[in-house]
């Protein structure tokens, strides 16, 4: 599992400190395809905008670690899994639609 | 069974009883086969058996990917069918995976593909080096992913990819309203499509299977009934594909002496099918029991499928005509299978008989009575069942005897289920009423390939079994019962009279012969006396003749002497006398 004991501890520690939710995100990709690169850059943008300092992204390349597809029931690529805070949600696609991603992550968009 | 295989298309045997026969070898190897049908028709089980049999019988590891049931449930479900998945998984022969997507958890934004699924499948296939894979039911993905355009494209890619991997795949699909599957999977999986169906007729459900398409191979076209029991699926070919069972020239006794004589003294052909039809209480079971007994006496195994009476009742009743069936059961030669027809559907009946025959491997099978099967199904269905059953029994070279109850009043030469043309030998039992009694009659309506008696024979059920009695024909037709007995007495009297008359005649002949002989003797004696007399006279006259002759000679000589003396004394005198 990519989710390490360390990061969970850090996340809970962070949560206590800031009293803010830490978003633990996993992005499943299969190789460095244009689509997965796009997904990652889209995600990064959204997180930086709406979840500054509140997120942790783990990128899992299934080509390198095919075993991991089973655990999170990954079928589509790319898939973003919001592990924390609960409930677990999945967003599939290249994350080009920011609004939908925010709904998927259950984040109220900041008024810009 | 060996079937001709087409070159070019290799097949993967499923190990499912009967299925490999109707497809001539199984599903296409290295390709995808679609199994579709309504809920509860047995798709998952079919697929599971394909995997399990592949692993256990054909040394082909398999992957079962379920989109519906979690692995634990699946393992538990198929355990009741005798598939021990857990141990197969432990041995790395089978791998079970549960793929699930929950729509409520998923948001779709932008482009995606199903590489995740591909990677997952590839990983699991490689982990046990699988040769077979099942996707059950891949259509579930349509419920989880709303972008169907992408999904369809990806599924098409998936099936192509599976083909490229060289694994034999089975994909299941739920039946749609107008299409074979809800999402039209048949468009993508087009090598082989099998349709399963579960139909309820007259409250009894029957599962059926049909091969809708099989690219590159011929296959059985019919709807084949199949059933699911503790051994998994068995498909029952409606009839064997060819009428090619070997026939035997061997004959087996009917167990009734008189009946054997009617069949030229030898009985039925081994492996033939005999129908004993008749009205109620006429002795059909007795004829069957005799046959069973004669088989067991030879030490041959026999199964008795009783659809009407309990085993104990049959044994008791047959004891009353001197047939002890219990001893044969104890010796393991006779096996009873007692079941009410209504207990399960026709197909299940057939399957049980199949199973019983395969397990016990008998030489003879009796079904008593087949007419009872119509209580659970239409005559047509029963007919089809019997066709299959007869084919099956013939292939196994089992001599079969069916009894058939004919309702009173209906023509005797017609069976309700039109089975008569399927059987080789047909014995009709009937009883006729006259003179205030009913008497049993027996005749052979047909017997293929056996010279048989054309007589209607009366028979009796005696404590020593069935006895055929001699035929008595009067001007009014066949005499039976007391009429026959009366006739018997009359004939006996007539016989006695004739005997006496004969005696008299014989005596007369003897007398005349004696007279003849005496007269001949007397004549002979008389003639002999005459001959003797004549011979004596002849002798006497001969003697007389001799005497005269000798006297004459004597006188002649003395005369000569005298004349010589005269010449000496007178000389010329005698000469002169001579010259005179």
Interface probe for B, chosen from A69, A106, A107 (most Cβ of B below 10 Å), is: A69
What is the average per-residue pLDDT within B283-299? 90
* pLDDT band at residue B578 using 50, 70 and 90 as cut-offs: very low
> In this complex, do B119 and A62 lie within 8 Å of one another by their Cβ atoms?
yes
Short-list B364, B376, B313, B309, CA closest to B335: B364
pLDDT given for residue B518 in this prediction: 95
pLDDT above 50: residue A14 = no
pLDDT above 50: residue B158 = yes
> Counting beta carbons within 10 angstroms of the beta carbon of residue B360, is it exposed (0 to 12), middle (13 to 18) or buried (19 or more)?
middle
> In this complex, do B107 and A87 lie within 8 Å of one another by their Cβ atoms?
no
pLDDT above 60: residue A27 = yes
pLDDT given for residue B371 in this prediction: 83
**In this structure, are residues B292 and B302 in contact, taking their beta carbons and an 8 Å threshold?**
yes
| Secondary structure in 3-state letters for B466-522 | EEECCCCEECCEECCHHHHHHHHHHHHHHHHHHHHHHHHHHHHHHHHHHHHHHHHHH
Q: What is the DSSP secondary structure assignment for residue B394, as one 8-state letter?
A: H
- Three-state SS at B574: helix
What is the average per-residue pLDDT within A55-76? 85
> In this complex, do B101 and A73 lie within 8 Å of one another by their Cβ atoms?
yes
pLDDT given for residue B212 in this prediction: 86
pLDDT given for residue B530 in this prediction: 94
pLDDT given for residue B133 in this prediction: 92
- Tokens (6 digits) for B197: 């169906």
| CA distances, B233 to each of B41, B46, B95, B240, B518 (Å) | 11, 7, 21, 18, 98
Beta strand spans in B175-222 (E): 192-201, 204-214
Of B105, B112, B145, which is closest to A78 when you measure between CB atoms? B112
pLDDT above 70: residue A112 = no
Q: How far is B142 from chain A (nearest CA, A)?
A: 12
CA B315/CA B308 separation, integer angstroms: 13
**In this structure, are residues B271 and B401 in contact, taking their beta carbons and an 8 Å threshold?**
no
What is the average per-residue pLDDT within B477-485? 75
pLDDT above 80: residue B260 = yes
SS3 breakdown of chain A: % helix, strand, coil, rounded to 5?
40, 20, 40
Query: Considering only CB atoms, which chain A residues are within 8 Å of B123?
Result: 66-67, 69
Q: How many helices (H) and strands (E) does chain B have?
A: 15, 25
- Tokens (6 digits) for B301: 């195994």
The H-or-E segment that residue B277 falls in is: strand B273-278
pLDDT above 80: residue B434 = no
pLDDT given for residue B102 in this prediction: 79
**In this structure, are residues A60 and A70 in contact, taking their beta carbons and an 8 Å threshold?**
no
* CA B299 to the chain's CA centroid: 18
CA B440/CA B240 separation, integer angstroms: 38
Range among B57-71, B190-204, B236-250, B509-523 with highest mean pLDDT value: B509-523
Q: How many residues does chain A have?
A: 112
Q: Which residue of B has its CA nearest to A28?
A: B116
pLDDT given for residue B539 in this prediction: 93
Interstrand relation of B192-201 and B168-174 (parallel, antiparallel or unpaired):
unpaired
> In this complex, do B105 and A30 lie within 8 Å of one another by their Cβ atoms?
no
Q: Please state, as a whole number, how many other Cβ atoms lie within 10 Å of the Cβ of residue B240.
A: 16
How confident is the model over B372-411, as pLDDT tens digits?
887 777 777 788 788 888 888 888 889 999 998 887 666 6
pLDDT given for residue B20 in this prediction: 85
pLDDT above 60: residue A10 = no
pLDDT above 60: residue A63 = yes
> In this complex, do B111 and A67 lie within 8 Å of one another by their Cβ atoms?
no
Task: Look at B122 and B247; give whichever has higher pLDDT.
Answer: B122
What is the C-alpha R_g of chain A? 14
Q: Buried b / exposed e across B431-455, counting CB within 10 Å, b at 16+?
A: beeeeeebbbbbbbebbeebebbee
Supply the mean pLDDT for chain B.
83
pLDDT above 80: residue B368 = yes
Task: Look at B556 and B351; give whichever has higher pLDDT.
Answer: B556
Percentage of chain B exceeding pLDDT 70? 91
pLDDT given for residue A1 in this prediction: 41
- DSSP characters for B423-469? -SEEEEEEEEEETTEEEEEEEEEEETTS------EEEEEETTEEEEP
| CA distances, B451 to each of B134, B252, B267, B376 (Å) | 58, 15, 10, 37
Listed range (B312-326, B421-435, B495-509) with the worst mean pLDDT: B421-435
Short-list A31, A50, A55, A43, CA closest to A91: A43
Q: How far is B29 from chain A (nearest CA, A)?
A: 26
pLDDT above 70: residue B59 = yes
Whether A95 has its CB under 8 Å from any CB of chain B: the answer is: yes
pLDDT given for residue B383 in this prediction: 83
What is the average per-residue pLDDT within B66-73? 86
pLDDT given for residue B540 in this prediction: 93
The H-or-E segment that residue B336 falls in is: strand B334-338
pLDDT above 60: residue B534 = yes
pLDDT given for residue B410 in this prediction: 62
> In this complex, do A77 and B100 lie within 8 Å of one another by their Cβ atoms?
no
> In this complex, do A91 and B141 lie within 8 Å of one another by their Cβ atoms?
no
pLDDT above 60: residue A8 = no
Whether A66 has its CB under 8 Å from any CB of chain B: the answer is: yes
* pLDDT band at residue B576 using 50, 70 and 90 as cut-offs: very low
Beta bridge mates, B113: A77
> In this complex, do B120 and A76 lie within 8 Å of one another by their Cβ atoms?
no
pLDDT given for residue A3 in this prediction: 42
How confident is the model over B100-147, as pLDDT tens digits?
877 777 888 878 888 888 888 889 899 889 899 998 888 888 888 888
What is the average per-residue pLDDT within B298-311? 90
Of A78, A91, A94, which is closest to B107 when you measure between CB atoms? A91
* pLDDT band at residue B184 using 50, 70 and 90 as cut-offs: confident
Task: Look at B534 and A47; give whichever has higher pLDDT.
Answer: B534
pLDDT above 70: residue A17 = no
Of B112, B117, B144, which is closest to A93 when you measure between CB atoms? B112
pLDDT above 80: residue B12 = yes
pLDDT given for residue B436 in this prediction: 80
Interface probe for B, chosen from A92, A95, A98 (most Cβ of B below 10 Å), is: A92
How confident is the model over B320-352, as pLDDT tens digits?
988 888 898 898 889 888 888 877 777 778 877
Whether A57 has its CB under 8 Å from any CB of chain B: the answer is: no
Whether A69 has its CB under 8 Å from any CB of chain B: the answer is: yes
> In this complex, do A69 and B119 lie within 8 Å of one another by their Cβ atoms?
yes
Query: Considering only CB atoms, which chain B residues are within 8 Å of A76?
Result: 112-117, 145
Q: How far is B98 from chain A (nearest CA, A)?
A: 8
The H-or-E segment that residue B235 falls in is: strand B232-235
Q: How far is A13 from chain B (nearest CA, A)?
A: 27
pLDDT above 90: residue B533 = yes
What is the average per-residue pLDDT within B12-29? 85
Q: How far is A71 from chain B (nearest CA, A)?
A: 10
pLDDT above 90: residue B358 = no
Of B100, B106, B120, which is closest to A92 when you measure between CB atoms? B106
Whose tokens are 């590839």? That residue is: B122
> In this complex, do A75 and B99 lie within 8 Å of one another by their Cβ atoms?
yes
Residues of chain B with a CB closer than 8 angstroms to some CB in chain A: 97, 99-101, 105-117, 119-120, 122-123, 141, 144-145
pLDDT above 90: residue B520 = yes
Query: Considering only CB atoms, which chain A residues are within 8 Å of B107?
Result: 89-92, 100-101, 103-104
* pLDDT band at residue B543 using 50, 70 and 90 as cut-offs: very high
Listed range (B48-57, B184-193, B327-336) with the worst mean pLDDT: B184-193
Task: Look at B68 and B8; give whichever has higher pLDDT.
Answer: B68
Whether A93 has its CB under 8 Å from any CB of chain B: the answer is: yes
What is the C-alpha R_g of chain B? 49
> In this complex, do B109 and A97 lie within 8 Å of one another by their Cβ atoms?
yes
Q: How far is A93 from chain B (nearest CA, A)?
A: 4
For B251, residues 6+ apart whose C-beta sits below 8 A from its C-beta are B263, B266, B267, B268, B269, B270, B450
| CA distances, B378 to each of B177, B204, B409 (Å) | 29, 11, 21
Query: Considering only CB atoms, which chain B residues are within 8 Å of A63?
Result: 119
pLDDT above 50: residue B257 = yes
């Amino acid at each position: 599992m990519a989710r390490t004991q360390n990061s969970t501890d850090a996340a809970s520690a962070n949560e206590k400190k800031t009293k803010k939710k830490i978003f633990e995100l996993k992005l499943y990709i299969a190789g460095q395809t244009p689509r997965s690169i796009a997904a990652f850059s889209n995600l990064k943008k959204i997180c930086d905008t709406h979840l500054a300092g509140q997120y942790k992204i783990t990128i899992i390349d299934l080509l390198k670690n095919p075993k991991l597809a089973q655990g999170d029931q990954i079928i589509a690529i790319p898939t973003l899994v919001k592990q924390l805070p609960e409930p677990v949600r999945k967003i599939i696609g290249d994350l080009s639609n920011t609004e939908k991603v925010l709904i998927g992550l259950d984040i109220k968009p900041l008024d810009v | 069974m060996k079937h001709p295989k087409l070159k070019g298309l290799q097949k993967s045997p499923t190990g499912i009883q009967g299925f490999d026969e109707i497809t001539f070898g199984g599903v296409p190897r290295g390709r995808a086969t679609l199994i579709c049908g309504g809920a509860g028709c047995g798709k998952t089980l079919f697929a599971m058996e394909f995997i399990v049999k592949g692993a256990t019988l054909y040394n082909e590891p398999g992957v079962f990917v379920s989109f519906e049931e979690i692995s634990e449930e699946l393992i538990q479900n198929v355990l009741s069918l005798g598939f021990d998945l857990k141990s197969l998984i432990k041995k790395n022969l089978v791998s079970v995976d549960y793929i699930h997507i929950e729509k409520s958890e998923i948001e779709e934004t932008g482009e995606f593909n199903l590489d995740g699924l591909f990677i997952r499948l590839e990983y699991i296939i490689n982990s046990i080096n699988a040769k077979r894979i099942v996707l059950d039911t891949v259509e579930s993905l349509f419920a989880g992913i709303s972008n169907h355009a992408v999904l369809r494209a990806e599924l098409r890619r998936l099936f192509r990819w599976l083909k490229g991997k060289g694994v034999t795949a089975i994909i299941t699909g739920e039946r749609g309203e107008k299409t074979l599957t809800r999402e039209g999977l048949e468009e993508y999986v087009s090598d082989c499509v099998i349709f399963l169906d579960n139909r309820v007729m007259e409250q009894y459900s029957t599962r059926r299977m049909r091969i809708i398409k099989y690219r590159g191979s011929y296959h059985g076209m019919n709807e084949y009934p199949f059933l699911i029991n503790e051994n998994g699926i068995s498909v029952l070919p409606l009839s064997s594909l060819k009428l090619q069972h070997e026939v035997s020239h061997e004959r087996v006794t009917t167990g009734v002496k008189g009946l054997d004589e009617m069949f030229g003294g030898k009985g039925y052909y081994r492996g033939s099918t005999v129908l004993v039809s008749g009205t109620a209480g006429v002795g059909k079971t007795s004829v069957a029991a005799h046959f069973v007994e004669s088989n067991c006496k030879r030490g041959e195994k026999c199964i008795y499928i009783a659809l009407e009476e309990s085993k104990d009742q049959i044994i008791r009743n047959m004891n009353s005509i001197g047939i002890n069936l219990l001893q044969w059961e104890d010796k393991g030669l006779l096996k009873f299978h007692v079941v009410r027809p209504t207990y399960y559907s026709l197909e299940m009946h057939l399957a049980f008989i199949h199973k019983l025959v395969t397990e016990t491997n008998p030489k003879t099978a009796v079904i008593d009575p087949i007419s009872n099967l119509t209580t659970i199904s239409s005559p047509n269905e029963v007919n089809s069942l019997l066709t299959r059953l007869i084919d099956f029994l013939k292939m196994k070279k089992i001599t079969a005897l069916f009894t058939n109850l004919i309702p009173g009043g209906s023509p005797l030469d017609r069976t309700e289920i039109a089975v008569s043309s399927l059987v080789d030998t047909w014995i009709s039992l009937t009883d006729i009423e006259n003179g205030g009694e009913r008497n049993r009659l027996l005749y052979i309506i047909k017997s293929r390939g056996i010279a048989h008696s054309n007589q209607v024979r009366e028979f009796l059920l005696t404590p020593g079994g069935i006895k055929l009695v001699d035929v008595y024909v009067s001007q009014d037709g066949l005499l039976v019962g007391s009429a026959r007995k009366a006739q018997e007495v009359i004939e006996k009297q007539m016989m006695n009279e004739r005997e006496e008359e004969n005696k008299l005649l014989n005596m007369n002949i003897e007398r005349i012969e004696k007279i003849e002989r005496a007269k001949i003797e007397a004549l002979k004696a008389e003639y002999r006396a005459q001959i003797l007399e004549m011979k004596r006279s002849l002798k006497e006259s001969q003697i007389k003749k001799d005497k005269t002759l000798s006297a004459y000679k004597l006188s002649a000589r003395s005369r000569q002497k005298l004349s010589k003396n005269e010449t000496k004394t007178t000389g010329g005198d005698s000469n002169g006398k001579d010259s005179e």
